Amino acid sequence: MVSIDHVAQKILTYFPYVLVLVDMRFEGVKCGKDGSVDNHMEMGKKLLAAGQLADALSHFHAVVDGDPKNYMAYYRRATVFLAMGKSKSALPDLSRVIELKPDFTSARLQRGNLLLKQGKLDEAESDFKKVLKSNPTDKEEKEAQSQLTKSDEIQRLVAQSRRSFDNKDYVTAAAQLDTIIETCIWDVTSREMRAECFIQMGEMGKAISDLKAASKLKSDNTQAFYKLSTIYYNLGDHEMSLNEVRECLKLDPDHKQCYSHYKQVKKLNKQIQAAEEFIQEQRYEDAVSKYEAVMETEPNVHYFLLRAKERICHALTQAQQASRAIPVCSEVLQSSPSNVDVLKDRAEAYLQDEQYEEAVRDYETAAKHSEGDRQIKEGLERAQRLLKQSQKRDYYKILGVKRTAQKKEIIRAYRKLAQQWHPDNFQDPEEKKKAEKKFIDIAQAKEVLTDPEMRTKFDHGEDPMDPESQQGHHHHHFHGGFHGFQGFNPFGSGPFNFKFNFN
């Protein structure tokens, strides 16, 4: 037969918070009135020694059912509950042991320890004092005295923390509550008070941690779930806010605060999801409208306003609505200057609007905040190429068309400008010379932008008409000055009859 001492040692190895497991003086007590109860007791002890807690628990349940006054069965079942981390279930069993056997000091000491962890200081002190007044072993006496001293210290700290809290000295109160909670780890009241301190201090992550613990320690803690939901909401996490408020309504479907908050969060959540779906479907104007609705639904939470504008900036950039996108993106960056996503979107909008220096600046700023981002690197290289290109000849600007212009639009613009700047329209020698140069630029722009291969090169920063840019590669250019246009009519209505001397 495995000794109870071995059981205690084994359980303590794996569950160090189980302070007292078994009173060795009661090891030999018979615990049943018939064989079946005795058998269950023995099996439970063996399974407990083997660490098979769930199976051991079943046998101790059977002993309690068969012999409701068997205090050792309750004690052993409490031991299993504690080993399983179920202190709430262990406490009633320990109380039943003390009711059946008031001089069972191990059970009373164990209950005192659990009550202390729960922050029930008066009840814990009562148990420790009764242990000291009984006939405890040296070990029990030493532990009871130590825990009683600790409880007295906690009582003083509790009073001090309440005064600090009432005086709105939240930093001091939180520090005092830290010490309390180190001992009273299951004290719901202290955790909720510390959470409120953290909220007032603006440390929302710590407040969330305490409230989550409080919601688990107290089974019907609707207020903790409500507070969690509102914190997440004010942080802009609408999905977590919705999860927490639903937990509140599971406990109390008629909870007024939770139900009202639930309707608000659900409406907002639905709008945001719809807006994101529109962006995925490239329905950018619909996404903009939906995010504008988000701002109307929640005008008071800064994060939601900023996030809505951030996504409107993105949608307008994707829709190539640069003139609308840039001011929205800029508004977001005033509040959040290191927002990498918005910096990238505004840089792209600047490129669309041919503001290349501004695009380079935004990409460089984004790169400082997000090193190694491939999209930023590629965007910066593209912006730098286009800036360099714009400082030379920009065929799009020459024809007055956007970089996204189709071939028909390019030819239409070319014909209009060619007619306007045809040298035959000018009599003054200086004006004619200027027109000749302009006419050549217009013709070269048309040639580059209507040829897919040359246009691609130009869009990547090369000038197909510039020998230096081509660096020895095959390229197209006009030879011999303006006489290359002799006999060519851009309007297709017959030859032009003019000759120019470029000497």
The pLDDT, as a whole number, for residue 393 is: 80
Confidence check: pLDDT of 253 > 80? yes
Q: What is the mean pLDDT of residues 310-335?
A: 96
The pLDDT, as a whole number, for residue 392 is: 77
**Any idea which fold 397-503 has?**
Helix Hairpins (1.10.287)
In 3D, which of 186, 106, 193, 183 has the Cα closest to residue 148? 183
The pLDDT, as a whole number, for residue 469 is: 58
C-alpha distances in Å from residue 33, one per residue of 30, 43, 70: 8, 16, 10
- Which DSSP string do the residues of 294-339 spell out, in sequence order? HHHH-SS-HHHHHHHHHHHHHHHHHTT-HHHHHHHHHHHHHH-TT-
Confidence check: pLDDT of 452 > 80? yes
Q: Which residue has the tokens 């803690």?
A: 221
How many Å apart are CA 223 and CA 248, to the nearest integer? Answer: 8
Q: Note the Cα 43 to chain centre separation in Å.
A: 49
Confidence check: pLDDT of 500 > 60? no
Confidence check: pLDDT of 272 > 90? yes
* pLDDT digits 0-9 by tens, 138-197: 999 999 999 999 999 999 999 999 999 999 999 999 999 999 999 999 999 999 999 999
How many Å apart are CA 39 and CA 24, to the nearest integer? Answer: 20
The pLDDT, as a whole number, for residue 181 is: 96
Q: Which residue has the tokens 């309440």?
A: 162
Confidence check: pLDDT of 359 > 80? yes
Confidence check: pLDDT of 486 > 70? no
The pLDDT, as a whole number, for residue 444 is: 92
Q: Where are the beta strands (DSSP E) in 78-217?
A: none
- Looking at every residue in the chain, the average pLDDT score rounds to 86
In 3D, which of 235, 232, 207, 208 has the Cα closest to residue 302? 235
- Which DSSP string do the residues of 53-87 spell out, in sequence order? HHHHHHHHHHHHHH-TT-HHHHHHHHHHHHHTT-H
Burial class (CB in 10 A: 0-12, 13-18, 19+), 7: buried
Instruction: Give the least confident one: 117-131, 144-158, 467-481.
Output: 467-481
Cβ within 8 Å of residue 137, ≥6 positions away = 105
Confidence check: pLDDT of 25 > 50? no
The pLDDT, as a whole number, for residue 462 is: 80
The pLDDT, as a whole number, for residue 470 is: 53
Confidence check: pLDDT of 479 > 80? no
The pLDDT, as a whole number, for residue 34 is: 53
Tell me the pLDDT band of 4, cut-offs 50, 70 and 90. very low
In 3D, which of 165, 248, 225 has the Cα closest to residue 201? 165
In 3D, which of 65, 63, 78 has the Cα closest to residue 30? 63
